[in-house]
């Protein structure tokens, strides 16, 4: 029989080469896996952070002098400059309507006609009574002249003369009343033609021909709204009132812009007319009114609009708002130096005007700051400036900062 110990001694050395080969295969597989993992992450290491020597593609903006508007925003309501409900001032049958729904009319245009026959009769009666009393007055005046002559001749008593004078005065008073009755009857007859009291646009009619209309009716025939010009009512917080009053007291005219409900499309330009004389204690706001020509009638009464009141316009250093970052140090930007390296720069900002912000300190005109690509930046990182709207790198001459300096370096993306 063979010795077991001799078999183990002969098999052991034969296994070591296979173990060595297996270890080499595991190491090669791990190396290939690490290389592929690095490629799939776009040039980043396994534990994050850009690879050494890699530049970050960014888009930049240049700090420049420009106009910054101090604009206050509010929600307003379009209000007709004047609104009139047309009513009949006399009673009668509505014979004819002289307008179409939605028609534009001028002041004095005839809108409707009421049956005038009854009022013509009343006018004739007043005229007849006036002529009758006029004849009596003339006769009394002649009698008075005779009485006065007879009194001078001592043919009649003074009492008769005084009585005749009183009768003449009475008839003179009646003549005045008769003239007032004639004027009133003529006025009532004129009221049978209903005219437009103002210029504007009509609404929908509220009564049809053939109906009996009354002066006491509150519904009216139609509503006229004056939309050229038109006004807009809006409110502002009392904290912003001081800035508006400061401009008004110096005689400045404040421009007002209107935008649609989505605050995208501009509707009209106008100016601030007036403001209320007291603050609403319930809301802490003050009412203001702006005036708009509304030549194209794009503004409609009771329409909700977005109001932008431009209080002041001044020159300042400006930047796109997307360049401003917020951190523990407050607002800051990524500043690009002449070597195309990013640097964190703390700044202080002022008023915001749409997509631009006022820079109070921390930057100067001509400096470049990053607007896109900040999520991959760090202090001192190399950057590659690309053209706006594309991923193409900017030429070295174009990327040179304003005011001279060394050309910016370019690096290929990893």
- Domains, the chain, in order of start with CATH, read 48-63+324-414 (2.40.420.20), 70-110+198-313 (2.40.30.170), 116-191 (1.10.287.470)
**Quick one: pLDDT band at residue 98, thresholds 50, 70, 90?**
very high
Handedness of CA 294, 296, 301, 302 (dihedral sign): negative
- What's the rounded mean pLDDT across residues 88-101? 93
- C-alpha dist (Å) from residue 72 to 87, 109, 234, 354: 41, 42, 11, 11
- The residue-averaged pLDDT of 381-404 equals 57
CB under 8 A, 24+ apart: contacts of 114-118: 114/88, 114/90, 114/191, 114/192, 114/193, 114/194, 114/213, 115/192, 116/92, 116/189, 116/192, 118/92
Amino acid 354: pLDDT: 74
- 20-29, 162-171, 172-181, 286-295: the lowest-pLDDT one: 20-29
Residue 377 confidence (pLDDT): 83
CA 82: distance to chain centroid?
20
Percent residues over pLDDT 70 in the chain: 84
Mean pLDDT score, 358-377: 87
Of the candidates 40, 63, 41, 44, the one whose C-alpha atom is nearest the C-alpha of residue 52 is: 44
Whether residue 121 has pLDDT greater than 90: yes
Q: Is the pLDDT of residue 49 over 50?
A: no
pLDDT band at 218 (very low <50, low <70, confident <90, very high): confident
Question: pTM here?
Answer: 0.62
């Amino acid at each position: 029989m063979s010795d077991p110990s001799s078999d183990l001694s002969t098999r052991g050395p034969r296994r070591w080469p296979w173990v060595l080969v297996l270890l080499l295969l595991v190491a090669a597989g791990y190396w290939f896996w690490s290389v592929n993992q690095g490629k799939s992450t776009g040039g980043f290491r396994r534990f994050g952070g850009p690879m050494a020597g890699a530049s970050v593609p960014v888009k930049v903006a240049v700090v420049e002098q420009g106009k910054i508007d101090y604009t206050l925003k509010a929600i307003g309501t379009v209000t007709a400059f004047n609104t009139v409900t047309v009513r009949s001032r006399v009673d009668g049958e509505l014979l004819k309507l002289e307008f179409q729904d939605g028609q534009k009319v001028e002041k004095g245009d005839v809108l409707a006609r009421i049956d005038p026959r009854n009022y013509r009769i009343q006018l004739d009666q007043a005229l007849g009574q006036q002529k009758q009393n006029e004849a009596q007055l003339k006769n009394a005046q002649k009698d008075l002249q005779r009485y006065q002559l007879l009194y001078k001749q001592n043919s009649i008593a003074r009492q008769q003369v005084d009585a005749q004078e009183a009768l003449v005065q009475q008839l003179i008073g009646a003549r005045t009343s008769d003239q007032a009755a004639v004027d009133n009857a003529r006025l009532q007859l004129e009221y049978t033609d209903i005219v437009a009291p103002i210029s504007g646009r009509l609404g929908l009619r509220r009564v049809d021909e053939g109906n009996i209309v009354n002066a006491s009716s509150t519904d009216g025939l139609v509503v006229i709204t004056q939309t050229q010009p038109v006004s807009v009512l809006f409110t502002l917080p009392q904290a912003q009132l001081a800035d508006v009053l400061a401009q008004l007291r110096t005689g400045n005219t404040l421009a007002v812009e209107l935008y649609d409900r989505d605050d995208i499309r501009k509707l009209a330009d106008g100016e601030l007319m007036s403001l209320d004389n007291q603050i609403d204690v319930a809301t802490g706001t003050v009412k203001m009114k702006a005036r708009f020509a509304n030549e194209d009638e794009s503004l409609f009464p009771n329409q909700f609009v977005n109001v932008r009141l431009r209080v002041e316009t001044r020159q300042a250093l400006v930047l796109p708002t997307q360049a401003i970052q917020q951190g523990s140090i407050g607002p800051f930007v990524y500043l690009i130096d002449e070597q195309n390296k990013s640097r964190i720069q703390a700044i202080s900002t002022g008023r915001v005007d749409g997509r631009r912000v006022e820079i109070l300190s921390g930057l100067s005109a001509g400096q470049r700051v990053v607007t896109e690509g900040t999520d991959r930046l760090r202090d001192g990182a190399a950057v590659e400036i690309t053209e706006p709207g594309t991923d193409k790198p900017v030429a070295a001459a174009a990327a040179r900062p304003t005011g001279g300096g060394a050309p910016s370096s370019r690096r290929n993306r990893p």
